[in-house]
Structure 1
Protein backbone atom coordinates (compact mmCIF):
# COMPACT_ATOMS: atom_id res chain seq x y z
CA UNK A 1 0.00 0.00 0.00
CA UNK A 2 1.49 3.35 -1.01
CA UNK A 3 1.54 6.34 1.31
CA UNK A 4 0.67 9.88 0.26
CA UNK A 5 3.61 11.77 1.80
CA UNK A 6 6.79 9.98 0.80
CA UNK A 7 6.22 6.83 2.85
CA UNK A 8 5.22 3.39 1.58
CA UNK A 9 3.83 0.60 3.75
CA UNK A 10 3.86 -2.97 2.44
CA UNK A 11 2.44 -5.85 4.46
CA UNK A 12 4.07 -9.26 4.06
CA UNK A 13 2.18 -11.67 6.27
CA UNK A 14 2.74 -10.44 9.82
CA UNK A 15 5.62 -8.14 8.83
CA UNK A 16 5.10 -4.49 7.81
CA UNK A 17 7.85 -2.89 5.71
CA UNK A 18 7.86 0.90 6.02
CA UNK A 19 9.87 2.67 3.30
CA UNK A 20 10.79 6.35 3.29
CA UNK A 21 10.39 7.18 -0.40
CA UNK A 22 11.87 10.62 -1.13
CA UNK A 23 15.01 9.64 -3.04
CA UNK A 24 15.35 13.06 -4.73
CA UNK A 25 16.27 14.51 -1.30
CA UNK A 26 18.00 11.36 -0.03
CA UNK A 27 14.86 10.53 1.96
CA UNK A 28 15.16 13.65 4.11
CA UNK A 29 12.14 14.08 6.38
CA UNK A 30 9.88 17.13 6.31
CA UNK A 31 6.64 17.68 8.21
CA UNK A 32 4.31 15.65 5.97
CA UNK A 33 6.78 12.76 5.85
CA UNK A 34 7.08 12.76 9.64
CA UNK A 35 3.29 12.68 9.90
CA UNK A 36 3.18 9.72 7.50
CA UNK A 37 5.83 7.89 9.54
CA UNK A 38 3.83 8.58 12.68
CA UNK A 39 0.77 7.09 11.01
CA UNK A 40 2.78 4.00 10.03
CA UNK A 41 3.95 3.54 13.63
CA UNK A 42 0.34 3.90 14.81
CA UNK A 43 -0.64 1.23 12.33
CA UNK A 44 2.01 -1.13 13.70
CA UNK A 45 0.68 -0.65 17.23
CA UNK A 46 -2.98 -0.74 16.27
CA UNK A 47 -3.07 -3.69 13.88
CA UNK A 48 -3.08 -6.96 15.81
CA UNK A 49 -2.06 -8.87 12.67
CA UNK A 50 1.30 -7.03 12.53
CA UNK A 51 3.88 -8.67 14.78
CA UNK A 52 7.06 -6.83 13.69
CA UNK A 53 8.20 -4.16 11.25
CA UNK A 54 11.17 -3.01 9.18
CA UNK A 55 12.05 0.63 8.49
CA UNK A 56 14.10 1.32 5.36
CA UNK A 57 14.70 3.92 2.65
CA UNK A 58 14.21 3.96 -1.10
CA UNK A 59 16.81 4.63 -3.76
CA UNK A 60 19.84 3.09 -2.11
CA UNK A 61 19.98 5.28 1.00
CA UNK A 62 18.32 5.15 4.40
CA UNK A 63 17.70 8.76 5.40
CA UNK A 64 19.58 12.06 5.32
CA UNK A 65 17.75 13.33 8.40
CA UNK A 66 15.70 16.49 8.52
CA UNK A 67 14.95 18.33 5.30
CA UNK A 68 17.13 21.37 6.07
CA UNK A 69 15.88 23.28 3.04
CA UNK A 70 12.37 22.96 4.42
CA UNK A 71 13.72 23.97 7.83
CA UNK A 72 15.38 27.08 6.41
CA UNK A 73 12.21 27.96 4.48
CA UNK A 74 9.78 27.37 7.34
CA UNK A 75 11.98 28.39 10.27
CA UNK A 76 11.76 24.90 11.77
CA UNK A 77 11.95 21.35 10.49
CA UNK A 78 8.32 20.50 11.15
CA UNK A 79 9.47 16.89 11.40
CA UNK A 80 8.10 16.44 14.93
CA UNK A 81 4.90 14.66 15.89
CA UNK A 82 3.38 13.31 19.11
CA UNK A 83 5.80 10.40 18.74
CA UNK A 84 8.69 12.83 18.72
CA UNK A 85 11.11 13.80 15.95
CA UNK A 86 10.65 12.08 12.57
CA UNK A 87 7.41 10.43 13.67
CA UNK A 88 8.96 7.79 15.92
CA UNK A 89 12.16 8.79 17.75
CA UNK A 90 10.61 9.56 21.12
CA UNK A 91 7.97 6.85 21.08
CA UNK A 92 8.70 3.98 18.69
CA UNK A 93 6.12 1.23 18.24
CA UNK A 94 5.56 -1.37 20.93
CA UNK A 95 6.51 -4.20 18.56
CA UNK A 96 10.00 -5.07 17.31
CA UNK A 97 11.29 -2.61 14.72
CA UNK A 98 14.35 -3.33 12.54
CA UNK A 99 16.25 -0.66 10.60
CA UNK A 100 17.50 -1.88 7.20
CA UNK A 101 20.21 0.60 6.23
CA UNK A 102 21.72 1.18 2.80
CA UNK A 103 23.85 4.18 1.89
CA UNK A 104 23.75 6.95 4.47
CA UNK A 105 21.93 7.15 7.80
CA UNK A 106 22.90 10.63 8.95
CA UNK A 107 21.51 13.13 11.42
CA UNK A 108 17.89 12.31 12.07
CA UNK A 109 18.27 9.29 9.82
CA UNK A 110 20.81 7.84 12.24
CA UNK A 111 18.55 8.79 15.15
CA UNK A 112 15.69 6.92 13.50
CA UNK A 113 17.89 3.84 13.16
CA UNK A 114 18.87 4.16 16.83
CA UNK A 115 15.18 4.32 17.76
CA UNK A 116 14.77 0.89 16.17
CA UNK A 117 15.46 -2.19 18.26
CA UNK A 118 17.81 -3.83 15.76
CA UNK A 119 19.93 -2.55 12.87
CA UNK A 120 20.89 -4.45 9.73
CA UNK A 121 23.28 -2.56 7.47
CA UNK A 122 24.98 -3.01 4.14
CA UNK A 123 28.76 -3.22 4.37
CA UNK A 124 29.12 0.08 2.54
CA UNK A 125 26.58 1.95 4.71
CA UNK A 126 27.72 5.03 6.61
CA UNK A 127 26.41 6.61 9.81
CA UNK A 128 26.86 10.09 11.27
CA UNK A 129 25.44 12.78 13.54
CA UNK A 130 26.64 15.87 11.61
CA UNK A 131 24.40 18.42 13.35
CA UNK A 132 27.28 20.22 15.11
CA UNK A 133 28.66 21.20 11.69
CA UNK A 134 25.62 23.48 11.24
CA UNK A 135 25.49 24.65 14.87
CA UNK A 136 22.50 22.37 15.38
CA UNK A 137 21.95 19.83 18.16
CA UNK A 138 20.83 16.24 17.58
CA UNK A 139 17.56 16.23 19.53
CA UNK A 140 16.01 13.11 17.99
CA UNK A 141 17.33 10.88 20.76
CA UNK A 142 20.72 10.23 19.19
CA UNK A 143 22.67 11.86 22.02
CA UNK A 144 20.61 9.88 24.55
CA UNK A 145 20.77 6.50 22.85
CA UNK A 146 24.23 6.48 21.27
CA UNK A 147 26.24 6.30 24.54
CA UNK A 148 24.04 3.39 25.62
CA UNK A 149 24.70 1.47 22.41
CA UNK A 150 28.41 2.22 21.92
CA UNK A 151 31.48 2.74 24.12
CA UNK A 152 31.35 6.32 25.38
CA UNK A 153 34.56 7.43 23.64
CA UNK A 154 33.33 6.29 20.23
CA UNK A 155 29.88 7.80 20.81
CA UNK A 156 31.48 11.09 21.87
CA UNK A 157 33.76 11.16 18.81
CA UNK A 158 30.83 10.62 16.47
CA UNK A 159 28.69 13.28 18.16
CA UNK A 160 31.42 15.92 18.63
CA UNK A 161 33.11 15.64 15.23
CA UNK A 162 30.06 14.83 13.12
CA UNK A 163 32.24 12.44 11.15
CA UNK A 164 31.05 9.45 9.13
CA UNK A 165 31.59 5.96 10.54
CA UNK A 166 31.35 2.81 8.43
CA UNK A 167 29.02 -0.05 9.28
CA UNK A 168 31.81 -2.55 9.99
CA UNK A 169 33.24 -0.91 13.15
CA UNK A 170 29.74 -0.27 14.42
CA UNK A 171 29.04 -3.96 13.88
CA UNK A 172 32.16 -4.88 15.84
CA UNK A 173 31.00 -2.69 18.72
CA UNK A 174 27.51 -4.20 18.67
CA UNK A 175 25.48 -1.27 17.36
CA UNK A 176 24.79 -3.00 14.03
CA UNK A 177 23.37 -6.49 14.51
CA UNK A 178 24.04 -7.94 11.07
CA UNK A 179 25.96 -6.88 7.96
CA UNK A 180 24.89 -7.62 4.41
CA UNK A 181 26.42 -7.15 1.01
CA UNK A 182 25.66 -3.84 -0.75
CA UNK A 183 22.01 -3.75 -1.70
CA UNK A 184 21.16 -6.63 0.61
CA UNK A 185 20.15 -4.90 3.84
CA UNK A 186 16.40 -5.28 3.40
CA UNK A 187 16.67 -8.95 2.48
CA UNK A 188 18.91 -9.59 5.50
CA UNK A 189 16.48 -7.68 7.73
CA UNK A 190 13.64 -9.85 6.47
CA UNK A 191 15.62 -12.96 7.43
CA UNK A 192 16.17 -11.51 10.92
CA UNK A 193 12.48 -10.64 11.17
CA UNK A 194 11.64 -14.19 10.15
CA UNK A 195 13.73 -15.51 13.03
CA UNK A 196 11.64 -13.40 15.39
CA UNK A 197 8.28 -14.15 13.76
CA UNK A 198 8.73 -17.87 14.39
CA UNK A 199 8.03 -17.01 18.03
CA UNK A 200 4.83 -16.04 19.85
CA UNK A 201 3.77 -12.46 19.03
CA UNK A 202 2.51 -11.54 22.49
CA UNK A 203 5.70 -12.94 24.02
CA UNK A 204 7.74 -10.88 21.54
CA UNK A 205 5.96 -7.69 22.60
CA UNK A 206 6.30 -8.46 26.31
CA UNK A 207 9.97 -9.40 25.95
CA UNK A 208 10.64 -6.20 24.03
CA UNK A 209 8.98 -4.08 26.72
CA UNK A 210 11.15 -5.67 29.41
CA UNK A 211 14.32 -5.28 27.32
CA UNK A 212 13.64 -1.60 26.73
CA UNK A 213 13.04 -0.96 30.40
CA UNK A 214 16.16 -2.88 31.41
CA UNK A 215 18.19 -0.97 28.81
CA UNK A 216 17.14 2.39 30.19
CA UNK A 217 14.29 3.48 27.95
CA UNK A 218 13.81 7.13 27.08
CA UNK A 219 11.74 8.94 29.71
CA UNK A 220 10.17 12.39 29.66
CA UNK A 221 12.77 13.84 32.00
CA UNK A 222 15.63 12.93 29.63
CA UNK A 223 13.88 14.52 26.65
CA UNK A 224 13.06 17.69 28.58
CA UNK A 225 16.58 18.01 29.96
CA UNK A 226 18.21 17.67 26.54
CA UNK A 227 15.98 20.45 25.23
CA UNK A 228 16.99 22.71 28.13
CA UNK A 229 20.68 22.03 27.56
CA UNK A 230 20.36 22.62 23.82
CA UNK A 231 18.51 25.96 24.10
CA UNK A 232 21.63 28.19 23.94
CA UNK A 233 22.64 26.60 20.64
CA UNK A 234 19.12 26.56 19.22
CA UNK A 235 18.67 30.28 19.87
CA UNK A 236 22.16 31.36 18.76
CA UNK A 237 22.82 33.46 15.69
CA UNK A 238 25.18 30.73 14.55
CA UNK A 239 22.20 28.39 14.07
CA UNK A 240 20.78 30.62 11.33
CA UNK A 241 24.25 31.00 9.84
CA UNK A 242 24.68 27.22 9.73
CA UNK A 243 21.43 26.79 7.83
CA UNK A 244 22.25 29.64 5.43
CA UNK A 245 25.66 28.13 4.74
CA UNK A 246 24.04 24.78 3.98
CA UNK A 247 21.60 26.34 1.51
CA UNK A 248 24.35 28.44 -0.10
CA UNK A 249 26.77 25.48 -0.21
CA UNK A 250 29.58 27.28 1.59
CA UNK A 251 31.51 26.94 4.84
CA UNK A 252 29.83 28.58 7.84
CA UNK A 253 31.32 31.74 9.32
CA UNK A 254 30.93 31.14 13.05
CA UNK A 255 30.68 34.04 15.50
CA UNK A 256 30.35 32.08 18.74
CA UNK A 257 27.03 33.75 19.51
Structure 2
Protein backbone atom coordinates (compact mmCIF):
# COMPACT_ATOMS: atom_id res chain seq x y z
CA UNK A 1 0.00 0.00 0.00
CA UNK A 2 2.77 2.34 -1.01
CA UNK A 3 1.82 6.01 -1.11
CA UNK A 4 -1.21 5.35 1.08
CA UNK A 5 -0.88 8.49 3.18
CA UNK A 6 -0.92 10.81 0.17
CA UNK A 7 -4.14 9.23 -1.07
CA UNK A 8 -6.04 8.74 2.17
CA UNK A 9 -7.49 12.04 3.29
CA UNK A 10 -9.20 10.05 6.03
CA UNK A 11 -12.42 9.33 4.07
CA UNK A 12 -13.75 5.76 4.45
CA UNK A 13 -16.16 3.91 2.19
CA UNK A 14 -17.69 0.45 2.63
CA UNK A 15 -19.74 -1.12 -0.15
CA UNK A 16 -21.83 -4.23 0.56
CA UNK A 17 -19.32 -5.44 3.12
CA UNK A 18 -20.06 -8.65 4.99
CA UNK A 19 -18.08 -11.07 7.11
CA UNK A 20 -18.65 -14.75 7.79
CA UNK A 21 -16.36 -16.93 9.89
CA UNK A 22 -15.96 -20.62 9.16
CA UNK A 23 -16.81 -20.68 5.45
CA UNK A 24 -20.13 -22.00 4.11
CA UNK A 25 -22.54 -22.62 6.97
CA UNK A 26 -20.33 -20.63 9.33
CA UNK A 27 -21.18 -17.74 11.62
CA UNK A 28 -22.16 -14.51 9.89
CA UNK A 29 -20.72 -11.65 11.96
CA UNK A 30 -21.53 -8.76 9.63
CA UNK A 31 -24.56 -8.61 7.34
CA UNK A 32 -24.07 -6.78 4.03
CA UNK A 33 -23.72 -3.09 4.82
CA UNK A 34 -22.67 0.10 3.07
CA UNK A 35 -21.57 3.31 4.76
CA UNK A 36 -19.34 6.32 4.17
CA UNK A 37 -17.35 8.40 6.67
CA UNK A 38 -16.05 11.80 5.63
CA UNK A 39 -12.47 12.93 6.21
CA UNK A 40 -12.10 14.52 9.64
CA UNK A 41 -15.43 13.17 10.84
CA UNK A 42 -15.93 11.55 14.24
CA UNK A 43 -18.18 8.50 14.03
CA UNK A 44 -19.20 6.27 16.91
CA UNK A 45 -20.63 2.76 16.68
CA UNK A 46 -22.96 1.53 19.38
CA UNK A 47 -24.63 -1.85 19.59
CA UNK A 48 -25.14 -4.95 21.75
CA UNK A 49 -22.26 -7.24 22.69
CA UNK A 50 -21.31 -9.60 19.88
CA UNK A 51 -22.94 -7.52 17.15
CA UNK A 52 -19.73 -7.15 15.15
CA UNK A 53 -18.56 -3.66 16.17
CA UNK A 54 -14.95 -4.70 16.72
CA UNK A 55 -15.05 -6.94 13.65
CA UNK A 56 -16.14 -3.97 11.55
CA UNK A 57 -13.28 -1.88 12.90
CA UNK A 58 -10.78 -4.65 12.15
CA UNK A 59 -12.07 -4.89 8.58
CA UNK A 60 -11.66 -1.15 7.99
CA UNK A 61 -8.18 -1.24 9.52
CA UNK A 62 -7.21 -4.06 7.19
CA UNK A 63 -6.48 -6.45 10.05
CA UNK A 64 -9.04 -8.88 8.65
CA UNK A 65 -10.56 -9.29 5.19
CA UNK A 66 -14.27 -9.10 4.39
CA UNK A 67 -15.95 -12.20 2.99
CA UNK A 68 -17.62 -10.01 0.38
CA UNK A 69 -17.71 -6.34 -0.52
CA UNK A 70 -15.07 -3.64 -0.77
CA UNK A 71 -13.52 -1.13 1.62
CA UNK A 72 -11.56 1.92 0.52
CA UNK A 73 -9.84 4.80 2.28
CA UNK A 74 -9.62 7.80 0.04
CA UNK A 75 -9.14 6.30 -3.43
CA UNK A 76 -7.13 3.34 -2.13
CA UNK A 77 -8.73 -0.11 -1.66
CA UNK A 78 -7.96 -1.72 1.69
CA UNK A 79 -6.19 -5.01 0.91
CA UNK A 80 -3.99 -5.33 3.99
CA UNK A 81 -3.09 -3.54 7.24
CA UNK A 82 -3.56 0.21 6.90
CA UNK A 83 -0.31 1.97 7.89
CA UNK A 84 -1.72 5.47 8.44
CA UNK A 85 -3.79 4.64 11.49
CA UNK A 86 -3.59 4.92 15.28
CA UNK A 87 -5.52 2.38 17.37
CA UNK A 88 -6.41 2.50 21.07
CA UNK A 89 -7.90 -0.58 22.75
CA UNK A 90 -9.69 -1.17 26.05
CA UNK A 91 -6.35 -2.34 27.45
CA UNK A 92 -3.75 0.37 27.02
CA UNK A 93 -1.01 -2.14 26.08
CA UNK A 94 1.73 0.10 27.48
CA UNK A 95 5.14 -1.50 27.99
CA UNK A 96 5.72 -1.50 31.74
CA UNK A 97 9.52 -1.32 31.42
CA UNK A 98 9.47 1.82 29.27
CA UNK A 99 8.83 5.33 30.53
CA UNK A 100 5.79 7.32 29.45
CA UNK A 101 7.90 9.14 26.85
CA UNK A 102 9.43 5.85 25.78
CA UNK A 103 5.98 4.37 25.19
CA UNK A 104 4.79 7.38 23.22
CA UNK A 105 7.91 7.31 21.03
CA UNK A 106 7.56 3.59 20.23
CA UNK A 107 5.81 4.10 16.84
CA UNK A 108 8.62 6.43 15.73
CA UNK A 109 11.19 3.77 16.62
CA UNK A 110 9.28 1.02 14.81
CA UNK A 111 8.85 3.16 11.67
CA UNK A 112 12.35 4.63 12.00
CA UNK A 113 11.08 8.21 12.03
CA UNK A 114 13.28 10.92 13.51
CA UNK A 115 12.46 14.30 15.04
CA UNK A 116 9.17 13.44 16.75
CA UNK A 117 10.30 14.18 20.31
CA UNK A 118 8.79 17.68 20.21
CA UNK A 119 5.44 16.37 18.98
CA UNK A 120 5.47 13.70 21.69
CA UNK A 121 5.95 16.39 24.31
CA UNK A 122 3.17 18.51 22.80
CA UNK A 123 0.76 15.58 22.84
CA UNK A 124 1.56 14.75 26.46
CA UNK A 125 0.94 18.40 27.33
CA UNK A 126 -2.38 18.47 25.49
CA UNK A 127 -3.37 15.25 27.25
CA UNK A 128 -2.40 16.71 30.65
CA UNK A 129 0.32 14.13 31.42
CA UNK A 130 3.44 16.10 30.47
CA UNK A 131 4.58 16.06 34.09
CA UNK A 132 4.78 12.26 33.98
CA UNK A 133 7.00 11.89 30.89
CA UNK A 134 9.69 10.15 32.94
CA UNK A 135 7.31 8.01 34.98
CA UNK A 136 6.48 4.36 34.28
CA UNK A 137 3.03 2.94 33.47
CA UNK A 138 2.72 1.16 36.79
CA UNK A 139 2.93 4.56 38.49
CA UNK A 140 -0.11 5.92 36.61
CA UNK A 141 -3.86 5.72 37.12
CA UNK A 142 -6.05 3.98 34.56
CA UNK A 143 -7.14 7.27 33.02
CA UNK A 144 -3.58 8.52 32.76
CA UNK A 145 -2.48 5.29 31.10
CA UNK A 146 -5.15 5.71 28.44
CA UNK A 147 -4.04 9.30 27.85
CA UNK A 148 -0.55 7.97 27.17
CA UNK A 149 -1.98 5.31 24.84
CA UNK A 150 -3.84 8.01 22.89
CA UNK A 151 -0.69 10.13 22.64
CA UNK A 152 1.18 7.11 21.27
CA UNK A 153 -1.58 6.48 18.71
CA UNK A 154 -1.45 10.10 17.51
CA UNK A 155 2.36 10.50 17.45
CA UNK A 156 2.88 10.01 13.71
CA UNK A 157 -0.12 12.22 12.77
CA UNK A 158 -2.26 9.39 11.39
CA UNK A 159 -5.20 10.20 9.15
CA UNK A 160 -7.32 7.75 11.14
CA UNK A 161 -7.81 7.18 14.88
CA UNK A 162 -9.70 4.05 15.92
CA UNK A 163 -10.76 3.50 19.53
CA UNK A 164 -12.21 0.16 20.64
CA UNK A 165 -13.97 0.58 24.02
CA UNK A 166 -11.04 2.67 25.33
CA UNK A 167 -12.77 3.99 28.45
CA UNK A 168 -14.98 1.07 29.52
CA UNK A 169 -12.69 0.05 32.40
CA UNK A 170 -12.56 3.58 33.90
CA UNK A 171 -14.68 4.96 36.72
CA UNK A 172 -17.56 7.25 35.77
CA UNK A 173 -15.82 10.54 36.61
CA UNK A 174 -12.62 9.63 34.77
CA UNK A 175 -14.65 8.43 31.80
CA UNK A 176 -16.40 11.81 31.64
CA UNK A 177 -13.02 13.55 31.69
CA UNK A 178 -11.78 11.33 28.86
CA UNK A 179 -14.90 12.03 26.80
CA UNK A 180 -14.29 15.78 27.04
CA UNK A 181 -10.63 15.27 26.20
CA UNK A 182 -11.36 13.06 23.19
CA UNK A 183 -13.78 15.45 21.55
CA UNK A 184 -11.25 18.25 22.08
CA UNK A 185 -8.52 16.17 20.42
CA UNK A 186 -10.75 15.44 17.44
CA UNK A 187 -10.90 19.16 16.81
CA UNK A 188 -7.23 20.01 17.33
CA UNK A 189 -5.76 16.96 15.55
CA UNK A 190 -8.15 16.94 12.55
CA UNK A 191 -8.21 13.15 12.52
CA UNK A 192 -10.98 10.91 11.22
CA UNK A 193 -12.15 9.08 14.34
CA UNK A 194 -14.04 5.82 14.77
CA UNK A 195 -15.15 5.06 18.34
CA UNK A 196 -16.66 1.75 19.43
CA UNK A 197 -18.60 1.93 22.69
CA UNK A 198 -21.45 0.32 24.63
CA UNK A 199 -22.32 3.68 26.21
CA UNK A 200 -25.11 5.50 24.40
CA UNK A 201 -24.23 8.82 26.09
CA UNK A 202 -20.56 8.46 25.16
CA UNK A 203 -21.44 7.58 21.57
CA UNK A 204 -23.48 10.76 21.20
CA UNK A 205 -21.18 13.12 23.08
CA UNK A 206 -17.97 12.15 21.27
CA UNK A 207 -19.25 11.92 17.71
CA UNK A 208 -20.58 13.82 14.74
CA UNK A 209 -22.54 10.71 13.75
CA UNK A 210 -23.74 7.63 15.60
CA UNK A 211 -24.11 4.33 13.75
CA UNK A 212 -26.52 2.03 15.58
CA UNK A 213 -25.89 -1.67 14.96
CA UNK A 214 -28.25 -4.61 15.33
CA UNK A 215 -27.49 -7.87 17.05
CA UNK A 216 -25.52 -10.50 15.11
CA UNK A 217 -25.24 -10.52 12.20
CA UNK A 218 -24.42 -6.85 12.57
CA UNK A 219 -26.33 -4.45 10.35
CA UNK A 220 -26.73 -0.68 10.58
CA UNK A 221 -30.15 0.11 11.99
CA UNK A 222 -29.73 3.88 12.08
CA UNK A 223 -27.27 6.61 11.09
CA UNK A 224 -27.84 9.61 13.35
CA UNK A 225 -26.37 13.06 12.81
CA UNK A 226 -25.35 14.73 16.11
CA UNK A 227 -26.21 18.45 15.92
CA UNK A 228 -24.10 19.90 18.74
CA UNK A 229 -21.27 22.35 18.03
CA UNK A 230 -17.75 21.77 19.31
CA UNK A 231 -16.21 22.14 21.79
CA UNK A 232 -18.86 20.44 23.91
CA UNK A 233 -19.46 20.62 27.62
CA UNK A 234 -20.86 17.71 29.61
CA UNK A 235 -23.95 19.82 30.31
CA UNK A 236 -25.07 19.17 26.72
CA UNK A 237 -26.09 15.69 27.86
CA UNK A 238 -28.90 17.28 29.88
CA UNK A 239 -30.48 19.05 26.90
CA UNK A 240 -33.73 17.87 25.26
CA UNK A 241 -31.99 17.25 21.91
CA UNK A 242 -29.38 14.98 23.51
CA UNK A 243 -32.07 13.11 25.43
CA UNK A 244 -34.09 12.64 22.24
CA UNK A 245 -31.13 11.07 20.42
CA UNK A 246 -30.53 8.72 23.33
CA UNK A 247 -34.19 7.73 23.33
CA UNK A 248 -34.07 7.07 19.58
CA UNK A 249 -31.12 4.72 20.03
CA UNK A 250 -32.68 2.91 22.99
CA UNK A 251 -35.89 2.37 21.02
CA UNK A 252 -33.94 0.40 18.43
CA UNK A 253 -32.56 -1.87 21.13
CA UNK A 254 -35.97 -2.22 22.80
CA UNK A 255 -37.55 -3.32 19.49
CA UNK A 256 -34.73 -5.86 19.06
CA UNK A 257 -35.26 -7.16 22.60
CA UNK A 258 -31.78 -6.05 23.70
CA UNK A 259 -33.29 -3.63 26.23
CA UNK A 260 -36.51 -4.04 28.18
CA UNK A 261 -38.53 -0.84 27.89
Same fold (TM over 0.5): no
Normalising by the residue count of structure 2, what TM-score does the alignment of the two structures yield? 0.30
Normalising by the residue count of structure 1, what TM-score does the alignment of the two structures yield? 0.31
Task: Give the structure with the larger helix fraction.
Answer: 1
Higher relative CO (Cα under 8 Å, sequence separation at least 6) belongs to 2
Task: Give the structure with the larger strand fraction.
Answer: 2
Rg larger for: 2
